Amino acid sequence: MALDKPYKDIPGTVIFDAEQSRMGYWLNQFCMSLMKAENRARFLADERAYLDEWEMTEDQKQAVLDRDLNRCVQLGGNIYFLAKIGATEGKSFQQMAGSMTGMSEEDYRDMMVSGGRPIEGNRYTHEWEKK
Amino acid sequence: MALDKPYKDIPGTVIFDAEQSRMGYWLNQFCMSLMKAENRARFLADERAYLDEWEMTEDQKQAVLDRDLNRCVQLGGNIYFLAKIGATEGKSFQQMAGSMTGMSEEDYRDMMVSGGRPIEGNRYTHEWEKK
Amino acid sequence: MARITASVYTSHVPAIGAAMDHGKDHEPYWQKLFDGYEFSRQWLKDNTPDVIFLVYNDHANAFSLSMIPTFAIGTAPHYPIADEGWGPRPVPAVEGDSVFASHIAQSVIQDDFDLTIVNEMAVDHGLTVPLSLMCGKTDAWPCRVIPFAVNVVQYPVPSGRRCYELGKAIRRAVERYDEPLNVQIWGTGGMSHQLQGPRAGLINREWDNAFLDRLIADPAGQADMPHIEYVREAGSEGIELVMWLIARGAMADANGGPAPHVAHRFYHVPASNTAVGHLILENPS
Amino acid sequence: MARITASVYTSHVPAIGAAMDHGKDHEPYWQKLFDGYEFSRQWLKDNTPDVIFLVYNDHANAFSLSMIPTFAIGTAPHYPIADEGWGPRPVPAVEGDSVFASHIAQSVIQDDFDLTIVNEMAVDHGLTVPLSLMCGKTDAWPCRVIPFAVNVVQYPVPSGRRCYELGKAIRRAVERYDEPLNVQIWGTGGMSHQLQGPRAGLINREWDNAFLDRLIADPAGQADMPHIEYVREAGSEGIELVMWLIARGAMADANGGPAPHVAHRFYHVPASNTAVGHLILENPS
Ligand SMILES: [Fe+3]
Ligand SMILES: [Fe+3]
C-alpha cells in the first residue's frame, strides 16, 4: 500500500512533497542562486542565457520567463524558492501571492485588508468543481 | 546535574564530543580543506602560510607542523579530519595511527599482524596509571 | 540549574521586517499590528532572559534542497543575517551560545531525537522578525539566541505530536544544565496563511483562535491534530504552527507542573498575506 | 510490494579499497581477507537485489563540522565518489533510487525518525569499500544503492536501541512500497578498532565474536548495550557497530517473523588497524 496523500484534496493548492521536489529540483536550485547580488544582476541582464545554465526543462524556463508562478508551482517550484525571482525584481510576497489568484493587485490587497479569503467553500476540491 | 561523560575513563583515548569539537573547530575545518588537490599543493608549498589563513590557535598550528597527532587530538582534532594531513603526504591510516602509540612503524604493524593490542589492561585509566 | 521561565509565540511575516526596516511601522496599516506588541516589548525588557531558544523555520535561505534537516540546532557562536533576495535585513547579527546549545543537543539526541547539528548558518526572517517584533529597532539583541530550525517546507514535516514531545525533551535538557540560566523558548511562524496557488490569501480567524485557545488549555490534545487539518483549515503555510507545539511542550504543565499564566494574547489580520497571532505564557515561579 | 530479502554486514577499512585499487589483493597479507569474501561475491551474483539500502558512516568527507546530521538519507539519482585526500577511488559512481528513497524518507519521518534528506553528496570508503568487497572490481555496481549515513563521528551518536528501532521503521517503509522490489539492507563499519591515541591498534577478538553471536541470536538484547561498552571494549572507532543494528532491525524476526538463515560468517584480524567482521543473513522466503 502506497503512502497516503490526503492533501491532494485541497483546491488551488499544491503541497510541496518529495514528488514535487524531485520534479522542481533544478528550478528551485536556480532560484536559490538568486540569493547572490551578482547572480541577480546576471539574471536580469539576460534571463534566457542565465536559465540555460541550469538543468531545467523548457517548460520550467518558459514559466519563469512568463513569471507564471502557478505554472512554476505545478512544475515543482516551491513558493519560498520562487519568491527569490520576485525579490530580484523588488516584488513583495503579497504581489507574488496575489499574482497567482487571478485577482488584480488592488483587489487582492483589499481582500486581505477585509479579512482574507474565507475558508467556506475552499476546503475540498469538489467545492471548486461545482463553481 | 550535568550530562555524564563515562568515556573520560578510558586510557589513551579522547572521545570527540561537542567540547572537543568546539575546541578543534577550525583545526578540523582546515583539515577538510585538504580534500582539494590545489589546497594540498598550497599547504605543502608553505605550511606555515597556509595554516595562518585559519582561525587556529598557535598550539594547534604548531601541533600540525610537528605532525604531533596526539597533540592535535588533545587540541580538538578528530582523527578522520586529521587523516587528511597524512593523506596529503601519502601516509596510510596505519602509519598515522601507529605514530600516536610511541611504537615504530614496524613494531606497530607487527602488533597488528599478531592480533592487535589486547584489551586486557586497556579498559580503564587506573590500569594505565599503575604502569 | 537552568530554567525555562516563559514561552513566546508569534508569527514572522517578512513584510513586518520590511515595514520596520523602511520606517513604515507608524503607517496606519502597520500601526494596528505593532500596537499588539507594545506590551510585549515592555514585558521583554522587564523579563530579559539569558538565552532565547528560538524555534523557527528557514525559508530556503540557509537550507536549499541539497540538504533538508527535519530538526537542526545551531551550536555556533554567532549567525549572520541571510540575504533572502532583497539584501540582508539591517539588523544585528545573532549571538549564539555554543556551550549551552551543545549541551541541549547532546541531551535531546540521547532522548532519541535525531537532530542535525549546525555550526555555519545564516538566519532569515523566520528568526529575525520575531526578534524585531519583540525588541523593536535595536543595535544589539538583548541576549544570546539558540536557533532551532524545523523543516516545514518539504513534506513530510514532523508531526504535532513529535514536536510536542521534542519540547518536553528540550525542557529536560535545560533542567540538566548546571548554570543558573533564565531561558525562554519561542515558537514562531503561522498563523493561517497561504502564499501560493489560486487559494492564496486564505485566512481562518475562527480556526486560528480555536488553536490559540487549545494551545493554552489543551496542548496535548492539539498535538494530536493531523497535518491535513492545518493545511486545509489554515492554508498551505499554516503548517508552520506545529512549531508552536515545541515551545508549548517545554512548559511546566506539559511536564507534570502547574498551568502557565497567560501574560498576553493578540490576534490581527492581516500582515501582508498572513494572520498574526501572538501569545506570552509564563511558568509560575 | 517491496521486500527485504537479506541483510549483509561488513567492515569498511579504507586500506581494503586501496589494496584492491592498487592490485595488491593477491598479496598474502590481503589474500586471507579477500578469501573470506569469495563466497559473498558469488552469493551476491546469485542474489542480486534491485536496490541496496546501504547504512554507513561518512568520515569527514561529505559532512564537515559545519553540519552534522544524525541520520541522513540520500534521495539523489546519483552520487560521485569522494576525494578523501588521496584522490577519488577509481570505482564507478553510485546510482541511487530517488523515488524509492523518498518513499522511505516519508514513511520513516512519519514514524518519528527525524531524518535529514540529502540530494547532493559524495560517498566515501564507508560506502564504496563494502560494495568493492561484495562485488569485486567492476565497471558498474550491480544495482541501485540508497546511501543512509549515520553520525558516529561526533558524540553523541544515536543509541543502539534507536538504531534498531529505525531498522524496524525502514522495514515498514519498504513493505508499504507498491513496486515488487527485491531489497537488501547492509550494515557496515566496525568491528573493533581504534585509530587514535596511545591506545590505537586495540583489537578485541572475543568481544567481536560475542557481538556477532548476539547480533544473530538476540539483536534486541544487543540493542540495549550502552555506547560506553562499545568504546571501552571495541575501541573508539568500534562504535560504528551500532550501524549494524539498523540493518538487523529490518529483518523479519525483529518484526514478528521467523529467524534469519546465516548464509555466511567470517572474521579476520587485521586489515590495517581493524578487525574485519562479515555476516550474511537471509530472511526465510
Ligand atoms: Fe514563514
Ligand atoms: Fe569507518
pLDDT score of D25 more than 70? yes
**Count of CB contacts below 8 A, A vs D?**
26
Q: Which one of C12, C59, C103, C193 is the catalytic residue?
A: C193
Instruction: For residue A108, list chain C residues with Cβ-Cβ distance below 8 A.
Output: 201
Q: What is the pLDDT of residues B2-12, one digit of tens each?
A: 667 899 999 99
pLDDT score of A123 more than 70? yes
Within-domain flag for A110: no
The predicted model gives B17-26 an average pLDDT of 95
Tell whether C154 lies on the interface with A, counting CB pairs under 8 A.
yes
Instruction: For residue A1, list chain D residues with Cβ-Cβ distance below 8 A.
Output: 1, 176, 178
For residue B123, the tally of other CB atoms under 10 A from its CB is 17
Within-domain flag for B75: yes
Q: What is the pLDDT of residue B5?
A: 87
Tell whether D85 lies on the interface with B, counting CB pairs under 8 A.
yes
User: Average pLDDT of chain A?
Assistant: 95
For residue A53, the tally of other CB atoms under 10 A from its CB is 12
Tell whether D75 lies on the interface with A, counting CB pairs under 8 A.
yes
Q: Strand C3-10 to strand C274-282: parallel, antiparallel, or no bridges (unpaired)?
A: antiparallel
Tell whether D178 lies on the interface with A, counting CB pairs under 8 A.
yes
Q: What is the pLDDT of residues D100-115, one digit of tens each?
A: 999 999 999 999 999 9
**Residue A117 DSSP code:** B
> Most A CBs within 10 Å: which of C22, C24, C199, C209, as the mutation test of the A interface?
C199
Q: Strand C182-188 to strand C51-56: parallel, antiparallel, or no bridges (unpaired)?
A: parallel
* Contact yes or no for D99 and A3 at CB 8 A: no
| Candidates B1, B18, B25; nearest CB to C105 | B18
| Cα C19 from Cα B27, distance rounded (Å) | 42
Residue in C with minimal Cα distance to A97 = C195
Q: Helices (H) and strands (E) in chain B — how many of each?
A: 10, 0
Rg (CA), chain D: 17
Q: What is the pLDDT of residue A2?
A: 63
pLDDT score of A1 more than 60? no
| Candidates A1, A3, A18; nearest CB to D75 | A18
* % of chain D exceeding 90 in pLDDT: 98
Q: What is the pLDDT of residues D263-284, one digit of tens each?
A: 999 999 999 999 999 999 999 9
Cis amide leading into D191 (omega within 30) = yes
**Which of A95-99, B115-119, D65-69, D83-87 is least confident?**
D83-87
Q: What DSSP line would sit under chain D, residue for residue?
A: --EEEEEEEE---HHHHHHHHTT-TTSHHHHHHHHTTHHHHHHHHHT--SEEEEEE---SSS--TTEEESEEEE-SSEEPBP--SS---SSPPEE--HHHHHHHHHHHHHTT--PEEESS--B-HHHHHHHHHHH-S-SS-SSEEEEEEE--SSSSPPPHHHHHHHHHHHHHHHHT-SS--EEEEEEE--SS---SSTTTTB--HHHHHHHHHHHHH-HHHHHT--HHHHHHHH-GGGGGGHHHHHHHHTSGGGGTSPPPEEEEEEEEEEETTEEEEEEEEE---
Q: Cβ distance D248 to D161 under 8 Å? A: no
| Candidates C102, C106, C107; nearest CB to B22 | C102
Instruction: For residue D1, list chain A residues with Cβ-Cβ distance below 8 A.
Output: 1
**Residue B39 DSSP code:** H
The predicted model gives D54-64 an average pLDDT of 97
| Candidates B3, B22, B25; nearest CB to C106 | B3
* Contact yes or no for D197 and B31 at CB 8 A: no
Residue in D with minimal Cα distance to C155 = D106
**Rounded distance from Cα A77 to ligand 1 centre (Å):** 16
Q: Which one of D12, D59, D103, D193 is the catalytic residue?
A: D193
Q: Is C125 considered catalytic here?
A: yes
| Cα B80 from Cα B85, distance rounded (Å) | 10
The predicted model gives D164-182 an average pLDDT of 98
| Cα B42 from Cα A11, distance rounded (Å) | 58
Q: What is the pLDDT of residues C232-251, one digit of tens each?
A: 999 999 999 999 999 999 99
* Contact yes or no for B3 and C107 at CB 8 A: yes
> Most C CBs within 10 Å: which of B25, B32, B78, as the mutation test of the C interface?
B25
pLDDT score of B1 more than 60? no
Q: What is the pLDDT of residue D86?
A: 85
The predicted model gives D238-251 an average pLDDT of 98
Within-domain flag for A104: no
The predicted model gives B6-23 an average pLDDT of 95
Question: C92 burial class (0-12, 13-18, 19+ CB within 10 angstroms)?
Answer: middle
How far CA D139 is from CA of D15, D135, D147, in Å, comes to 20, 10, 19
| Cα D178 from Cα C30, distance rounded (Å) | 52
Report the gap between the CA of A16 and the closest CA in chain D (Å).
Answer: 12
Within-domain flag for A64: yes
> How many folded domains does chain A comprise?
1
* Contact yes or no for C106 and B17 at CB 8 A: yes
Within-domain flag for B102: no
Q: What is the pLDDT of residue C134?
A: 98
Q: What is the pLDDT of residue D85?
A: 85
Instruction: For residue D107, list chain A residues with Cβ-Cβ distance below 8 A.
Output: 3
Q: Which one of C12, C59, C103, C125 is the catalytic residue?
A: C125
* % of chain B exceeding 70 in pLDDT: 97
Q: What is the pLDDT of residue D285?
A: 75
Q: Considering only the C-alpha atoms of chain B, give the largest distance between any 2 of them, rounded to a whole number of Å.
A: 49
Instruction: For residue A111, list chain C residues with Cβ-Cβ distance below 8 A.
Output: 201
Within-domain flag for A114: no
Residue in B with minimal Cα distance to D230 = B7
Touch of C by B (3+ CB pairs closer than 8 Å) = yes
The ligand with the least distance to the CA atom of D272 is: 2
Return the closest-CA partner of residue D219 out of D257, D265, D251, D187.
D251
Coil, helix or strand for C186? strand
Name residues 77-116 of chain A within 8 A of C (Cβ).
78-81, 83-84, 86-88, 90, 92-94, 96-98, 100-102, 108, 111-113, 115-116
Q: Considering only the C-alpha atoms of chain A, give the largest distance between any 2 of them, rounded to a whole number of Å.
A: 49
Return the closest-CA partner of residue D131 out of D209, D275, D20, D232.
D20
Q: What is the pLDDT of residues C43-58, one digit of tens each?
A: 999 999 999 999 999 9
Touch of A by B (3+ CB pairs closer than 8 Å) = no
Tell me which fold the domain D3-282 belongs to. Protocatechuate 4,5-dioxygenase; Chain B (3.40.830)
Name residues 93-152 of chain C within 8 A of A (Cβ).
none
Question: What is the pLDDT confidence band of residue C85, given thresholds at 50, 70 and 90?
Answer: confident
Q: What is the pLDDT of residues D113-134, one digit of tens each?
A: 999 999 999 999 999 999 999 9
Report the gap between the CA of B87 and the closest CA in chain D (Å).
Answer: 5
Question: What is the pLDDT confidence band of residue A131, given thresholds at 50, 70 and 90?
Answer: low
**Rounded distance from Cα D257 to ligand 1 centre (Å):** 45
Report the gap between the CA of A103 and the closest CA in chain C (Å).
Answer: 9
Residue with the three cell numbers 494596528: C32
| Cα D249 from Cα D160, distance rounded (Å) | 10
Looking at per-residue pLDDT, the higher value among C285 and B22 belongs to B22
Tell whether D197 lies on the interface with B, counting CB pairs under 8 A.
yes
Return the closest-CA partner of residue D51 out of D166, D172, D141.
D141
Range of the domain at A81: 15-89
Report the gap between the CA of D229 and the closest CA in chain B (Å).
Answer: 9
pLDDT score of D178 more than 90? yes
pLDDT score of D245 more than 60? yes
Question: What is the pLDDT confidence band of residue A4, given thresholds at 50, 70 and 90?
Answer: confident
Within-domain flag for A69: yes
**Rounded distance from Cα C16 to ligand 1 centre (Å):** 12
Q: What is the pLDDT of residue B131?
A: 66
pLDDT score of C214 more than 70? yes
Q: What is the pLDDT of residue A130?
A: 75
The predicted model gives B78-92 an average pLDDT of 94
* Contact yes or no for C103 and B22 at CB 8 A: no
* Contact yes or no for B22 and C98 at CB 8 A: yes
ipTM: 0.96
**Rounded distance from Cα C59 to ligand 1 centre (Å):** 7
Chain C neighbors (3+ CB pairs < 8 Å): A, B, D
* Contact yes or no for C275 and A10 at CB 8 A: no
Q: Is D125 considered catalytic here?
A: yes
Residue in D with minimal Cα distance to C118 = D67
Within-domain flag for B66: yes
**Rounded distance from Cα C236 to ligand 1 centre (Å):** 11
